[in-house]
Amino acid sequence: MRILGIETSCDETGIAIFDDEKGLLAHELYSQVKLHADYGGVVPELASRDHVKKTIPLIIATLAAAGLTPEDLDGVAYTAGPGLVGALLVGATIGRSLAYAWDLPAVAVHHMEGHLLAPMLEDNPPEFPFVALLVSGGHTMMVDVRGIGDYKILGESVDDAAGEAFDKTAKMMGLDYPGGPRLSKMAEQGTPGRFKFPRPMTDRPGLDFSFSGLKTFAANTIRGNDDDPQTRADIAYAFQDAVVDTLAIKCKRALKQTGYKRLVIAGGVSANKALRQQLETMMKGMHGQVFYPRTEFCTDNGAMIAYAGMQRLKNNELMDLGVKVYPRWPIDQLQPIA
């Protein structure tokens, strides 16, 4: 079976074709970074219009790269939520319309389930059960994953997510959009120990996250010390170190709580080198293993939607002719797959 995956939840247009026997056959991705850079963040209306322009050409390119035609497909999957409602509607409308025109079943995919399952695209995928740390855009959550669709949220952000805190702190430091990766790059030149940032909500029980206070602490530090490049790098290092340490502490708690030895990290922030290194060291000490997708599949992409869509297609979770999207869609409301 082969399925076409369409991702348009925010500021990346991703298309992919997944074969349940041969794996990923082809994928294309267009980033809107340059489009939104002048505004310092994603402009929803501009994002939606750009998806309208790019989705069909990328579908044609992906089919060509795979050497396939629509007659070779067995389904169409598209991101139905969560995300920007206008952007979601573009992908959902195109996906549902193509499925109807090609006489194929249509599958609505949960964006965060796509991220959670992205490591399954690798040569050494994790086995169930495992703890998943999802750090993507406006989401930071810890999930007990017992199978596809069998998710229990152990903790989540109560205000700013980790990715938002990275981007907002970078903006305060005058870094161009997207600021998170630029801040991480700057942190590589930082001096450890010069600044000490708090580890929010680690001094109390529980697995929830809060990065709003850390962002405020960063703002006050920047305001009083932003005087030279090395100082800026030192602040970036201290901020990143605090976020990474906080995430690692919560991961360790979740693993001890569940008794699992496998940890998955996915989403845009999972590409952070410092986070990967700390979690790998931690899991080695716990005699466990950490899994994550390749860097290109950490950010939004069509491959993860195609993979998740294939699992839902096999479970016969098909959409009717209506076009429905869910800007807010709790991941623990999904149907488990036996």
Q: How far, in Å, CA of 27 to CA of 24, rounded?
A: 8
Does 11 appear as a known binding residue? Answer: no
Element (H, E) at 145: strand 139-147
Whole-number Cα distances in Å, 240 to 186, 271, 313: 10, 13, 39
**313 a known binding residue?**
no
Say whether 138 counts as a known binding-site residue. yes
Of 96, 98, 113, the residue nearest 147 (C-alpha): 113
Tokens representing 10 are: 């925010």
**8 Å CB contact between 122 and 91:** no
Is residue 158 a known part of a binding site? no
The reply to whether 110 sits in an annotated binding site is no
SS3 of the chain: helix, strand, coil, percent, to 5:
45, 20, 35
136 assigned to a ligand binding site: yes
210 is in an annotated binding site: no
Is 137 marked within a binding site? yes
For 42, which DSSP code?
A: -
Q: Is 180 annotated as a binding residue?
A: yes
Determine whether the annotation assigns residue 36 to a binding site.
no
**Strands, E, within 170-276: which ranges?**
262-266
For residues 159 and 222, give the distance between their C-alpha atoms in angstroms, rounded to a whole number: 21
Q: What letter would DSSP give residue 278?
A: H
Say whether 263 counts as a known binding-site residue.
no
- Binding-site annotation: residue ranges for substrate: 134-138, 167, 180, 272
- Binding-site annotation: residue ranges for Fe cation: 111, 115, 300
- Binding-site annotation: residue ranges: 111, 115, 134-138, 167, 180, 272, 300
